[in-house]
Structure 1
Amino acid sequence: MKSLLKIAGAALAFTIGFGGQSFAADYPTKDIRMVIPWGAGGGTDGIVRKLSTIAEKEIGQSVYAENIEGGISATGVMQVMKARPDGYTVGSLTYDSVVTVPWQGLLPTYKLEKLKLIARVTSEPDAILVSSNAPYKSVADLIAAAKANPGTIKVAIQNTGSRLHLAMLQFQEKTGTEFKLIAYPGGAAPQKEAILSKEVDVVATSMGDFSALIEGGDVRGLVEFSDSRNPTFPDVPTAKEEGVDLQIGSFIVLAAPANTPDDVVAKIEASYKSALESSEFQEWVSKVGVSPNWLGTDEVTEWADGTQKTLFDQMQTLVDQGVIKK
């Protein structure tokens, strides 16, 4: 009897193991859901949709985007964390997903260990942009105006406590200025509405997020928080050139639920890498002010851990100095 049970158990284990291998070998057999944890119309949305449209040709099934807003990206990312680890739900993470939400401890159940990071696909510095009819012709003009009228110049950031909020707090500290920072939750789209409707004259965002408005002449860049000029917008000076020691920006990382099979992750990784390197994407992204910046599955987790530690330390210093509250 024991022998029969052993044989039956071995057969079951073989069937399960073979089934798993067969599933991975056949993957994908249906459409793949790509969760974008920000509203439609923003920079992250545009980049992920474009990349996914190209990647689906390689992977062999449609990749459909689903925008799930809320919680500084946590609402959408949590759905990825809770999804079945079968490769049919993938998510896009940004700075807030990797840094802001974990640091603030907004959700006790939100842990990056519940995800398997697939790849980092882009990175882009933050910047200060102004309305085309704003009186500030340079970042020096903006700084001078802010010093002359502390707390009166309205600057649209995104979420309170977000990367852009942190960037502006550091900008104020390093330049001895004070602005009226106004939060527009939900990504870049509400910021665009704010500057087009003349609610604000200044936004802290990225050049890529506002590329269409820049090209249309609605806004212009004053400074980018980088040490090298953006090849898409070479006329915009860097913070280093303006004598401001500040480098900060966003990124996009693709992730799947933890325990997603390695060979399934490898297929997703290969498809998106091919898409990123394609002439179609390279030509498109060169016009939106974002830098393709690939880190594959073997490297991205270590990079994310290191980025977290560095920024957590920086934010804790600002807490200790009383600049921000945790």
Structure 2
Amino acid sequence: MTVKTLIASATAAVMAVAAVPAAAEYPERPVTVIVAWGAGGSTDTMARIFANYIGEDLGQRFVVENREGAGGEIGWTALANAPADGYTVGLINSPSFESKGIVRDDVGYDMEDIRPLVNVVTDPGVLAVAADSPYETLDDFVAAAKENPGELSVSHEGVGGDDHLAALDFTDKAGIDVNFVTFDGNAEATAALQGGHIDAFEGNMSEVANQIENGSVRALAVWSSDRMEAIPDVPTGQEQGYDVISAASRGFAVPADLSEEQYNTLLEAARGVIENEEFRAELAELNMPVVPIYGEDFVEFLENNRETLETLWEKDPWIEQ
């Protein structure tokens, strides 16, 4: 082979390599984050903060899209049906996410169609009343409910959610009957409470911690095993003789068929966000306890929850309560 031919061959080889397109780095465009609840609540707020951090880390915008309704089902159905291309992530709330398929056979999504990614926050439940409510203590509320069966109204976000199940557990152990009122998000419920449209709010600590601190809302109990740092003066249900423990776990998930490469990219980015002290400080300001559960551990956590809920359902169905 002549030197001229050798040079020509080498040049052709270099040009051929150059002609092969470089592998695209994920993500190449903005990612949609489906939130199955309305804007302004703690779930939406946490999602937006997380989206800002993970978007900065991965170099693309993560854009929150609120798809509220049916106690989360509309948003989770949209997530399950989204293309598994890495450009749709969804926020899931436990135990609402697991309970839908137990309550009904015609739910729009199946848990197997959605792959959990990471849990971020675990937010304990509270029962609260407006500041001008006549009920100063949990026992006051119970006494009034016993005197007026079915008349006192209590909010929740949907059948089978943590607040609904906590309220059922409490009313069962207290031996009272109340009127449940469903809202598409705790932001609506707290507004209804302060507007005098409901007697009590059953929801999560982060939704009302600031109102408790400024005196516009009075918490009668927190459904945790110990008092919470954010609301140290609020007694637990157990302290008052009601053995109720309840919390909402909020995390992120993706369509089940997402590639392992993209799943791992999102998982590692999520880990980086959760380990970021600035992110944790922002959530602490909002009274949201960060309790990370990653990858397959989160999958197992939700599967175990579902098994527990199935057992409860078989014992005492809550669909008509």
Structure 2-normalised TM-score?
0.88
Partner of 1:9: none
- Between 238-247 and 96-105, report the one with greater CA deviation: 96-105
| RMSD of aligned alpha carbons | 2.1
1:5 matched residue in structure 2: none
| Aligned residue number for residue 130 of structure 2 | 131
Is structure 2 residue 81 aligned with structure 1 residue 79? no
- Equivalent position SS for 1:34: strand
Q: How do 1:91-130 residues align onto structure 2 when only pairs under 5 Å count?
A: 91-95=90-94, 97-105=96-104, 107-130=106-129
Equivalent residue, structure 2, for 1:10: none
1:60, distance to aligned residue in structure 2 (A)? 1.4
Instruction: Name the structure 2 match of 1:282.
Output: 280
- Aligned position for 1:7: none
Q: Does residue 255 of the first structure (1) align with residue 290 of the second (2)?
A: no
Structure 1 residue 92, shift from structure 2 partner: 0.5
Conserved? CA contact 1:269–1:296, under 8 Å = yes
Distance in 1, matches of 2:319 and 2:114, equals 29
Q: Tell me, in whole angstroms, the C-alpha distance in 1 between the residues paired with 2:162 and 2:313.
A: 10
CA contact (8 A) 1:232 1:288 kept: no
- Residue identity over aligned pairs, in percent, reads 26
Matched residue type, 1:210: V
Q: 1:126 touches 1:205 (CA, 8 Å); kept in 2?
A: yes
Cross-structure match for 1:8: none
Counterpart of 2:31 in structure 1 is 32
Task: Please say if 1:214 is aligned against 2:212.
Answer: yes
Equivalent residue, structure 1, for 2:6: none
Partner of 2:230: 232
* Equivalence for 2:11: none
Deviations 1:209-250 (CA, angstroms, capped at 9, x unpaired): 223433443212111111022121111111221221111221
Q: d(CA) in 2 for partners of 1:43 and 1:106?
A: 29
Q: CA deviation at 1:204?
A: 0.5
Residues 104/318 of structure 1: CA separation in 2 closer, same or farther (3 Å cut): same
Distance 1:170 1:125 in 2: 14
Local SS of the residue matching 1:22: coil
For structure 1, the 5+ residue unaligned runs are 1-17
1:34-57, CA deviations, whole angstroms, 9 ceiling, x for partnerless residues? 000110011100111111112211
Structure 1 residues 161-192: Cα deviation after superposition (integer angstroms, max 9, x where no partner)? 433222212111101122222222x1112202
Give the equivalent residue in structure 2 for 1:300.
298
CA separation of 1:258 and 1:160: change in aligned 2, threshold 3 A: closer
Contact 2:82 2:88 in 1 (8 A): yes
| Alpha-carbon separation, structure 1, partners of 2:27 and 2:164 | 40
| Partner SS, residue 116 of structure 2 | strand
Once the two structures are TM-superposed, the CA of residue 121 in structure 1 deviates from its matched residue by: 1.1
| Residue number in structure 1 paired with 2:196 | 198
Is 1:55 the counterpart of 2:54 in the alignment?
Answer: yes
Q: SS where residue 241 of structure 1 aligns?
A: helix
Q: Would you say the 8 A contact 2:209–2:231 is kept in 1? A: no
Aligned: 1:22 with 2:15: no
Task: State the distance in 2 between where 1:305 and 1:225 align.
Answer: 23
Higher deviation after alignment, 141-150 or 77-86: 141-150
Residues 152 and 35 from structure 1, CA distance in 2 versus in 1: closer, same or farther, beyond 3 angstroms? same
Partner in structure 2 of residue 164 of structure 1: 163
How far, CA to CA, are the matches of 1:250 and 1:153 in structure 2? 24
- Contact 2:96-2:160 at 8 Å conserved across structures: no
How far apart are the structure 2 equivalents of 1:219 and 1:294? 29
2:4 equivalent in structure 1: none
Residues 125, 163 of structure 2: 8 Å contact kept: yes
What TM-score results when the alignment is normalised by the length of structure 1? 0.86
Q: Distance in 2 between matches of 1:50 and 1:212?
A: 18
How many Å separate the matches in 2 of 1:152 and 1:114?
Answer: 41
Unmatched tracts of structure 2, length 5 or more: 1-19
The letter of the residue matching 1:221 is A
Q: Does structure 1 conserve the Cα–Cα contact (< 8 Å) formed by 2:151 and 2:179?
A: yes
Aligned-partner residue type, residue 41 of structure 2: G
Q: Does the C-alpha gap of structure 1 residues 112 and 42 become closer, same or farther in structure 2, counting only changes over 3 Å?
A: same
Counterpart Cα distance in 2 of 1:33 and 1:165 = 29
How many Å apart are 1:134 and its aligned residue?
Answer: 1.0
SS in 1 for 2:206: coil
SS state at 2:274 partner: helix
State how far apart, in whole Å, the 1-side matches of 2:135 and 2:69 are.
33
Q: Secondary structure at the match of 1:267?
A: helix
Partner Cα distance (2:312, 2:141) in 1: 25
Runs (4+) of structure 1 exceeding 6 A deviation are: none
